[in-house]
Amino acid sequence: MPTLLLSDIHANLVALEAVLADADGQYDRVWFLGDLVGYGPQPNECVERLRALEPLALSGNHDWAVLDKLDAFDFNAEARMVVHWTQRTLTADNRAYLNDLPPLRAEPPFTLAHASPRHPVWEYILDLPTAMENFAHFDTPCCLVGHTHVPAVFVLDEAAGELSFTLVEHGDVIDLSRHRLIVNPGGVGQPRDGDPRAAYALLDAEAMTLEFRRVAYDVAATQELMRELNMPRRLIKRLAQGL
Ligand code: ZN
């Protein structure tokens, strides 16, 4: 049975429920690459929903900011505003759950990192030079990352000394057995590749394949909850644009 691979839920329960419904019956365990809260309107609901799935989970930079492990002044004003609201809203129990999650862990043949294996909380892997440097910072064949909210694959052909980068679409299946890779399943709760549908992946660790998926969710429902909470307008708008 495949592993359901999720990242960057960002307190968007409507998107998380759509992903869980879409993948229903097709996985037997869950891996989560961090940023369960921040940006979105339902942090407690998302922590509780994910927790109940008993995932192998990481924490991300927004989780760290909410936990005061990272200075919220590193964020833009809108993200910071939601960090502070989340701090006031999160229950002690849910906060304790987030506090126990590491930002990096090895699950051979995979390394899991929120942002990058070199700087697991903060670095964005968006270009070839950054990806190349990061291949020196993990030992397993494949590293799974989130953080950019953009589904993508970096493939390092060590024999040829070539690194390539591919943006991926719904239904694309990649072979994880041939080269070393850095793979990003995209974001569940705030996609940023211009496609507003929630992104996730199904990882088959036996066949060593990974399938990228997209699923539409009721964006307007999440936006309405954000409006009721007077969340920043730009954060509300970007969900519909997938940016
Ligand atoms: Zn994120």
Q: Decide if pLDDT at 73 tops 90.
A: no
Ligand 1 centroid vs 199 CA: distance in angstroms? 13
CA of 140 to the centre of ligand 1 (A): 24
Segment 2-12, tens digit of pLDDT = 999 999 999 99
Instruction: Give per-residue pLDDT as tens, 123-163.
Output: 999 999 999 999 999 999 999 999 999 999 999 998 888 99
Backbone φ/ψ region at 68: left (φ over 0), alpha (ψ -120 to 50), beta: left
Q: Are 128 and 162 in contact (CB under 8 A)?
A: no
pLDDT, average across residues 95-106: 98
pLDDT at 118 over 80: yes
Distance 41 CA to ligand 1 centre (A): 14
Average pLDDT, stretch 182-200?
Answer: 97
In whole angstroms, give the CA distance from residue 225 to residue 141: 41
Please tell me the distance between residue 161's alpha carbon and the centre of ligand 1 in angstroms: 31
How far, in Å, is the centroid of ligand 1 from the Cα of 238? Answer: 14
Alpha helices in 52-142 (DSSP H): 61-66, 77-89, 92-99, 128-134
State residue 200's pLDDT score.
98
What is 3-241's CATH number, 3.40.1410.10, 3.60.21.10, 3.40.50.1820, 3.30.70.360?
3.60.21.10
63 CA distance to ligand 1 middle (Å): 9
Q: How far is 57 from 65, CA to CA, in rounded Å? A: 17
Distance from residue 141's CA to the centre of ligand 1 (Å): 24
Q: Could you list which residues have their CB under 5 Å from ion ligand 1?
A: 8, 35
Cα 204 to middle of ligand 1, angstroms = 24
Closest C-alpha to 186, from 172, 176, 175: 172
Q: Sketch the domain layout of the chain as residue ranges.
A: 3-241
With cut-offs at 50, 70 and 90, classify the pLDDT of residue 207.
very high
β-pair type (180-184, 209-215): unpaired
Average confidence score pLDDT of the chain: 96
The overall pTM is greater than 0.85: yes
In the reported structure, the alpha carbon of residue 60 is separated from the centroid of ligand 1 by a whole-number distance in angstroms of 7
